[in-house]
Chains A and B, each alone.
Chain A
Amino acid sequence: MEIIRLQEVSFSYSTAHQRIDLFEALNLSFKSGEITALWGPSGSGKTTLLNIIAGFLKLKTGNVIFNSNNISEFSEGELCTYRNKNIGFVFQFFNLIQQLTVEENIAVPLMLSGVKTADWKERVGELIQKVGLDRRGRHYPYQLSGGEQQRVAIARALANNPRIILADEPTGNLDKKNRSAIVTLINEMRDEGRAIIIASHDEQFARIADKVVDLEQLSG
C-alpha cells in the first residue's frame, strides 16, 4: 500500500559560487512493508530527499503526499505531529542526546507525544529488548559502542510505532558485524509493515531493498 508519494518535486540550492539543481519534476512513491534504497554518489541528493519527505525542507514546486495529505500545506504544529507520530529517523552519526540515558533517549519521542512516564517505561523496555540492549538501559551513549548507539537510535525511531523509517547512512559508521545487525533490524522493521527509506552506499541495503532508486540517473 502506497504510504507516501512525491509529485513533481523540484529542488535546488545555491552555494557561494553556483546554483545546483538536485531534482526536477521528480515523481516517486513508497509503500508500506517495502525497503527503498536511495542510491547515488555523494551530492546526488539522497539526504535532501529524506529531508523533503520529513518535511524539513520547504518545497517551492511539487508536493509530498502522505496518506492523501499534502505535507507542504501542513502548519508547523502539524508537521511536528507528522514527524513525531509517523516518522522514525536513523542517522549516520546516531544523534543521541548525550546527557540522557539509553532509556531516556528512546523515550524522547514518546515524551514528546505526551505519554506518561509509567506508560513509556514499558514500551521502552520492549524496544530495548528488541534491539538487544537489555543491560544497557541506564547507560549513557558515550558508554556504548557505535553499533550499540545505532541500535538505540533504531529503538528510538520505533518508539512511536511510526509507519515510515527514514535512515540516512545507518551503517556508515559501523564495522561489518554491527552493519549486519542493523541490516537485520531494518529487515524486521519491513516485516512489521513499515515503509523503510534508506539513503546509503552500503551494498547490503541494495541487496535487501525491494526498490532501488538511483538518484544520479533520476537527476541525470
Chain B
Amino acid sequence: MEEWGLIKTLLVAELRFNSWRIIKVLLILIPTFAIISLFATYQWMPYANQVIFLRNSGHDFLQFTEGSYEDQTFHVLEVPIDANVEGDKYQGYWRKNSYRIELFVADNATFDFNSTYFSNRNFLRGNPNHLSDHEGMTGIALSYNALKRLNANVGDSVTLRFTNGERGTFKLPAIIQGVLRTKYPEHSIGFGGLGLVVSNNLVEEALLNNPNLPFRHVRFGQGTSSQLENSLSRRDQIRYASQPSYYLPNMGNMGLWVMFALGVLALFIVNSRELQFAIKQNWRKIGILRALGATNKLIVKIFVIGQACSIAIAALSGGLLYRALFMLGQYVDLRVMMGVVLGLFAIGLICLLLAAQRVRKVVANCPIIDIIYNKEF
C-alpha cells in the first residue's frame, strides 16, 4: 500500500520520540491487563487446573460439595499430634481451640479435572483469613506463602502465629494431614474439612524422608515409587472412614459472571481512557496531516495501527505478567494464557475502534481553526 511509508515513518518517529510516553502507557496497561485477567479468569481457571487455582488464587482451601463422602475411604497421611481419632469414624478431630491443616494431594496425572468436579463448578472458594467453625470443629486455611513454607516440611509440626479478632494471637502446633491421591474415583479425592492442595511428590518425599511419620491407609496409584510402597508396607497404618460431607453454599454462577463482567468493564475503561488521551495528544498532528491532504481513512489507519501495536505489546506482556503472577507458571495451561492474551487484545481492539470514531471527528483544519478561534477572534 502506498501509505505504508508514511505509517512506518510516523510509527518509528513515535517510538523514537515518545518512547517514555509509550513506556508509561505500557506501565499502566500491562499490570492492569494482568490483574484484571486474574479476576476475569477467576471463574473458569479452576476448571482448567485445580492445582493452579488453589496455589495461586489466594484462596487456599477447596471444598467439594457434590454428594456425600460417607463410607468412602480416605487416604490420609497424618501426624496426629492433637487429633482425637475415635474408631473408624471420622469425626471431631479438632478439639476446641486447636487447629489442623490438611494437605490434600491431587494427582494431575490420574485425575481428569476438566470433566469431573470442576466442569460442574462444584467447588467453593473459602475465606483463608479466618478461622472457621463447623459442627464443633475448628479449622484454618493458610495463606499461600504459609502453605509454601509448610510444603517444605510436610509431616513436621509447625508453629503458627496468627490473629483472630475474637481470640487474639495464638501460638500453636499444627497438624499436617494429606490425602494421597491415586487412581481412585473422583469422589474419593474430597474431604469434608478445610484443605490445601499439594503435589503428590511432596507427600511422597515427606513419607520417604520421615520414616516415623504416621499415616493412614495409603493406596498407591500408578507411578508411585516402589521404594515408597516398600517403605510404607512395613509401617503401621491407622485406618478411618470419611466423614459425611456437608454442603457449603458457593458463590453461584451469577456472582462469578458479575466478577468477570466487572473485570472486562475495567479493561474497557482503562483502554478507552488511554486511547482518548492518545487522540488528545495527537490532535495537532492529525490536523496537520489532514491539512496536507491525508484522507479520513488514512488518519484512522495511522491511529489504529499505532495504538494496536501498543495494545498488542501490552496484551502480550500483560499475559506474561498474568502468568508470572500465578507464580507457579508452569502449571498454567498455555492455551489458557493464549486465551488471555487474545482476549486482552480483542478488548483493546474494540476500545480502539470506538476511539477511532473520535479520530474521524478531528477537523481537517484544526491547525488553522486554532488560529481563527484562539487568536483572531
Interface residues of A (CB under 8 A from B): 15, 42-43, 46-48, 50-51, 54, 56-57, 76-77, 80-85, 89, 91-93, 95-100, 104, 107-109, 111-117, 140, 156, 168-169
Q: Which residues in A have their C-beta under 8 angstroms from that of B372?
A: 47-48, 51
Known: A42-B376, A80-B294, A109-B292. A116 touches B364 (CB 8 A): no
Known: A47-B376, A77-B295, A80-B294. A91 touches B17 (CB 8 A): no
Q: Which residues in B have their C-beta under 8 angstroms from that of A47?
A: 368, 371-372, 376
Interface residues of B (CB under 8 A from A): 2-3, 5-6, 9-10, 13-14, 16-18, 284-285, 287-289, 291-296, 298, 363-365, 367-369, 371-372, 375-377
A99 to B10, CA, bound (A): 8
Q: Which residues in B have their C-beta under 8 angstroms from that of A107?
A: 9
Q: Which residues in B have their C-beta under 8 angstroms from that of A95?
A: 284, 287-288, 291, 367
Decide if the interface of chain B is mainly helix, strand, loop or mixed: helix
Tell whether, in the assembled complex, residue A56 and residue B295 are in contact, meaning their CB atoms are under 8 Å apart.
no
Q: Which residues in B have their C-beta under 8 angstroms from that of A140?
A: 17
Q: Which residues in B have their C-beta under 8 angstroms from that of A96?
A: 288
**A to B CB contacts below 8 Å, 16 in the list:** A42-B376, A47-B371, A47-B376, A54-B291, A56-B369, A77-B295, A80-B293, A80-B294, A83-B292, A84-B293, A92-B371, A95-B367, A97-B289, A99-B10, A109-B292, A109-B293
Q: Which residues in A have their C-beta under 8 angstroms from that of B365?
A: 51, 54, 56-57
* Complex A-B, nearest 7 residue pairs according to Cβ-Cβ distance, in ascending order: A84-B293, A114-B2, A56-B365, A111-B6, A99-B17, A99-B13, A83-B293
Given contacts A91-B371, A99-B18, A111-B3, 12 further A-B contacts (CB under 8 A): A46-B376, A47-B376, A51-B372, A89-B292, A93-B367, A95-B288, A99-B285, A104-B9, A108-B6, A111-B9, A112-B3, A116-B5
A158 to B289, CA, bound (A): 15
Select A100's contact among B13, B296, B363, B364, beta carbons within 8 Å.
B13
Tell whether, in the assembled complex, residue B293 and residue A85 are in contact, meaning their CB atoms are under 8 Å apart.
yes
Most buried by A among B14, B287, B298, B372: B372
Query: Which single residue of chain B is at the shortest CB-CB distance from A120?
Result: B5
Tell whether, in the assembled complex, residue A111 and residue B371 are in contact, meaning their CB atoms are under 8 Å apart.
no
Tell whether, in the assembled complex, residue B368 and residue A56 are in contact, meaning their CB atoms are under 8 Å apart.
yes
A84 to B289, CA, bound (A): 10
Q: Report the minimum CB–CB distance from A42 to chain B (whole Å).
A: 5
Q: Report the minimum CB–CB distance from A164 to chain B (whole Å).
A: 13
Q: Which residues in B have their C-beta under 8 angstroms from that of A98?
A: 17
Query: Which single residue of chain B is at the shortest CB-CB distance from A76?
Result: B296
Most buried by B among A89, A99, A104, A168: A99
Known: A97-B288, A99-B14, A99-B17. A168 touches B295 (CB 8 A): no
